[in-house]
Amino acid sequence: MPASRVAFVLGTRPEIIKLSPLVRACHRREIPHTVVHTGQHYSESLDTVFFEQLELPAPDHNLAVGSGTHSEQTAEMILGIAEVLSDEQPTDVIVQGDTNSALAGAIAASKQSTALGHVEAGLRSFDREMPEEINRILADHAADSLFAPTGEAARLLEAEGIDADRITVTGNTIVDAVSQNLELATRKSTVLEEYGLEPDEFYLLTAHREENVDDPDRFAGILGGVGEFARRTDRPVLYPIHPRARENLAAFDLSVPPSVRLVDPLGFLDFLALESSARLVITDSGGVQEETCILQTPCLTVRDTTERPETVDVGANRLVGTEPSTILAGADEMVSRDGSWSNPFGDGTAAERILDSLL
């Protein structure tokens, strides 16, 4: 008899957030499970706090992989995950999304002939220069069960030759997570008061992707475009900045516009409160594109491609790249959106559908 029926492999805060409804559902349904934290995000402010705030038990296994090249990080994760799977002997391994942790979990499971489930399967940016695109493609093709968040994601999987019998459209677990935590965030978070912000009278910025913050021209373009829009509209910008991005500001000698306020990374509940109260969110995060769509907050994506085209299709999001002029034009258009679009990501019961399909 396996020690755990299901093993969840995760390593970044989006994975913690999006798998939390599944972990809770396993607790509720008394399904034996284990949580393997790879340590891909190794700063306490970027992951440990999420377990505490989301009222989840500490991971059963923490591999503490930390930093390194993509190859070094992934290789070390595979070795650590494989050892845990040998000990735990789970029936199913669940990975989520497109991180190095997801890829490592997928490879480790497939090498041990353990059934693999991929949550958020079928997302495609069609930009193979993004390491995340390669990760999600490989995880999808290794998986035995592919849990697609939308019908469009399922269609893309079938177009790549994946058998329809392996695909289940479940909705996205981020809807579950937002639904479960928004009331808690509204009740417990004091982040607006802490930063002196009025609902609907500020902008929220996130920029952390390598292709943006590791490129001085793209990073400068984002800061310049967002800063100028904030100046013109006389609203402040709050930017919870990732440590890597903060280091690059200094390394590239980039100036931050006076209208852009840098703060340390925030916990999920505080960030959720900010997303739901902002007049406009500017981001390069895939997860934030989804969350703002669900929360009916207009979103501007400072990337050239997106694996969340549904957000653009329903009018919740616009892709603008990193040129200041296109950021300004896109922000002018999106800031007046009223949030009346439909939510394409499901009804908040994705976790239960995934477990029903798995079991």
273-277 LR contacts (CB < 8 Å, sep 24+): 273/185, 273/186, 273/189, 273/191, 273/192, 274/191, 274/192, 274/197, 274/204, 274/238, 275/204, 276/182, 276/185, 276/186, 277/192, 277/197, 277/199, 277/200, 277/202
Burial of residue 105 (number of CB atoms within 10 Å: 0-12, 13-18, 19+): buried
Give me the sign of the Cα torsion angle 193, 260, 185, 300. Answer: positive
Which of the following is catalytic: 61, 141, 208, 242?
208
Tokens of 182: 């928004």
Tokens of 203: 């902008």
In whole angstroms, give the CA distance from residue 144 to residue 131. 22
What is the 3 state secondary structure string of 306-359? CCCHHHHHCCCEEECCCCHHHHHHHHHHHCCCCCCCCCCCCCCCHHHHHHHHHC
Establish whether 208 is a catalytic residue.
yes
Q: Left if phi > 0, otherwise alpha if psi is -120 to 50, otherwise beta: which for 236?
A: beta
Tokens 């353990």 appear where?
A: 114
Strands 6-10 and 33-37: parallel
Pair 9, 97: CB distance under 8 Å: no
DSSP code per residue over 258-286? TTEEEE----HHHHHHHHHH-SEEEE--H
Tokens of 145: 């069960």
3-class DSSP assignment, residue 122:
coil
Pair 103, 25: CB distance under 8 Å: no
Bridge partners for 34 per DSSP = 7
The conformation of residue 53, written as its DSSP 8-state character, comes to: H
Query: Which residues are catalytic, by number?
Result: 208
